[in-house]
């Protein structure tokens, strides 16, 4: 009898152990499945995380193609700079920021198209780096140790066959995706341009009256008409001196001076010619006598300088044959701005108000 009880006990223990083993195996399998699912979910989220909800935290965007073209758009207070130098076009930058915020994933690229899309991205894709202002400690409403960090790197490809999507690939991801903008019919790749001219602001002067410290206007062929103006105070008192001999102007029309200074609030050029005119032609123009030179210094001692040149109505080849008999274009003129980096076309209609000679202001 006791032997039967022992056998029964052994069988019972074996069943319990078997059940424990089975339950343990099931739990291990479930844990592994959950872990794999979580890893896949995390990977999938990373591969599709192209958007930035808080675009106000973006400090810098770098865009480059597979050639030599690249741009860096960086935040500088309330404005944006192009390659840390010239002003960027605010409207174009805002369009890009809106795109980055609203971008959505439509679907992954199909397996059938995967290889061709990846190959295409590797050859013509544009690399985009997004930098944001983040905190090393950010928890429970506590934010400490702010710094700039590279948060996203992805590649922008060309358009889908239906022209309604754009191929994009997150750096380190295996699979590219088709992205789109809600309520926008078209593709977004042109918004990620690495071409400098696509980002340039046409603003030459954007100085409020209260921000102007001094001004100098020189006429190459009329030395007696050049002058230097210095703002004495905010009450409309100025010191104007002749460039010819440095003598002070005793009496001037305050209203005319005021109208001239307020015109610097927004003056823009018409077009940039660096990539339009031949380098030899540009060199020929900038090495010729200038028409006038204008220098403005603001209260932060930032200087804006432009050197301007006559534009002929005829081609340069014909103009060289007729010399000074060539008719001059009285509507437009050339100018060098941004430390001589940009050769631009300007309109007299826009700039005439700040180009009057000294005798215009005299009483």
Q: Are residues 262 and 347 in the same domain?
A: yes
Q: Would 184 be classed as within a structural domain?
A: yes
State the average pLDDT over residues 295-309. Answer: 96
Q: Would 46 be classed as within a structural domain?
A: no
Q: Are residues 75 and 151 in the same domain?
A: yes
State the average pLDDT over residues 62-71. Answer: 94
Write down the pLDDT at residue 316: 56
Q: Would 261 be classed as within a structural domain?
A: yes
pLDDT in tens, 85-114: 888 999 999 999 999 999 999 999 999 999
Q: Are residues 219 and 157 in the same domain?
A: no
- pLDDT band, residue 144 (cuts 50/70/90): confident
Write down the pLDDT at residue 221: 86
State the average pLDDT over residues 7-35. Answer: 61
State the average pLDDT over residues 127-143. Answer: 88
pLDDT in tens, 204-228: 999 999 999 999 999 998 889 999 9
- pLDDT band, residue 186 (cuts 50/70/90): confident
Q: Are residues 176 and 271 in the same domain?
A: no
Is the pLDDT at 162 greater than 70? The verdict is yes
Q: Are residues 193 and 325 in the same domain?
A: no
Using a pLDDT cut of 70, give the percent of the chain over it: 85
State the average pLDDT over residues 312-336. Answer: 69
Q: Are residues 146 and 262 in the same domain?
A: no
Among 148, 166, 198, identify where a domain stops: 198
Pairing type for strands 212-219 and 227-231 reads: antiparallel
Q: Would 75 be classed as within a structural domain?
A: yes
Q: Are residues 148 and 68 in the same domain?
A: yes
Collect all residues with Cβ–Cβ distance below 8 Å to 347 and sequence separation of at least 6.
270, 331, 332
Q: Are residues 176 and 215 in the same domain?
A: no
pLDDT in tens, 116-130: 999 999 999 999 999
Among 173, 198, 223, identify where a domain stops: 198
Among 198, 231, 253, identify where a domain stops: 198
Q: Are residues 104 and 177 in the same domain?
A: yes
- pLDDT band, residue 38 (cuts 50/70/90): very low
Collect all residues with Cβ–Cβ distance below 8 Å to 92 and sequence separation of at least 6.
198, 199
**297 is in which domain, residue-wise?**
203-360
Q: Are residues 192 and 275 in the same domain?
A: no
Q: Would 100 be classed as within a structural domain?
A: yes
Q: Are residues 116 and 239 in the same domain?
A: no
Write down the pLDDT at residue 235: 84
Using a pLDDT cut of 90, give the percent of the chain over it: 67
Q: Are residues 64 and 187 in the same domain?
A: yes
Total domains in the fold of the chain:
2
Of 37-41, 75-79, 101-105, which gets the smallest average pLDDT? 37-41
Q: Would 148 be classed as within a structural domain?
A: yes
């Amino acid at each position: 009898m006791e032997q039967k009880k022992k056998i029964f006990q052994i069988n019972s223990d074996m069943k319990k152990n078997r059940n424990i083993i089975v339950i343990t195996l099931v739990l291990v399998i479930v844990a592994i499945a959950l872990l794999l699912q979580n890893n896949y979910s995390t990977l999938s989220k990373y591969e599709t995380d192209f958007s930035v909800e808080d675009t106000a935290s973006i400090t810098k965007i770098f865009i480059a193609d597979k050639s030599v073209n690249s741009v860096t758009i960086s935040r500088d207070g309330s404005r944006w700079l192009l390659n840390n130098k010239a002003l960027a076009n605010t409207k174009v930058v805002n369009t890009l920021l809106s795109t980055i915020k609203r971008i959505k994933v439509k679907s992954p690229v199909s397996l059938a198209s995967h290889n061709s899309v990846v190959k295409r991205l590797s050859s013509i894709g544009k690399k985009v780096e997004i930098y944001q202002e983040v905190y090393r400690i950010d928890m429970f409403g506590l934010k400490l140790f702010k710094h700039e960090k590279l948060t996203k790197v992805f590649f922008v490809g060309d358009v889908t066959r239906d022209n309604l999507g754009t191929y994009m690939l997150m750096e380190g991801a295996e699979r590219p995706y088709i992205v789109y903008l809600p309520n926008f019919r078209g593709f977004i790749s042109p918004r990620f341009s690495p071409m400098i001219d696509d980002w340039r602001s046409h603003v030459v002067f954007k100085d409020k009256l209260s921000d102007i410290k001094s001004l100098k206007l020189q006429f190459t062929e009329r030395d007696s008409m050049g002058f230097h103006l210095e703002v004495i105070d905010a009450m409309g008192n100025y010191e104007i001196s002749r460039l010819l001999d440095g003598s002070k102007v005793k009496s001037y029309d305050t209203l005319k001076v005021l109208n001239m200074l307020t015109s610097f609030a927004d003056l823009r050029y018409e077009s940039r010619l660096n990539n339009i005119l031949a380098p030899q032609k540009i060199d020929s123009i900038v090495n010729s006598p200038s028409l006038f030179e204008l220098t403005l210094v603001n209260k932060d001692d930032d200087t804006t300088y432009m050197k301007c040149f006559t534009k002929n109505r005829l081609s340069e080849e014909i103009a060289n044959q007729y010399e000074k008999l060539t008719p001059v274009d009285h509507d437009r003129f050339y100018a060098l701005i941004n430390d001589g980096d940009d050769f631009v076309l300007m309109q007299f209609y826009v700039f005439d108000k700040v180009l009057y000679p000294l005798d215009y202001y005299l009483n």
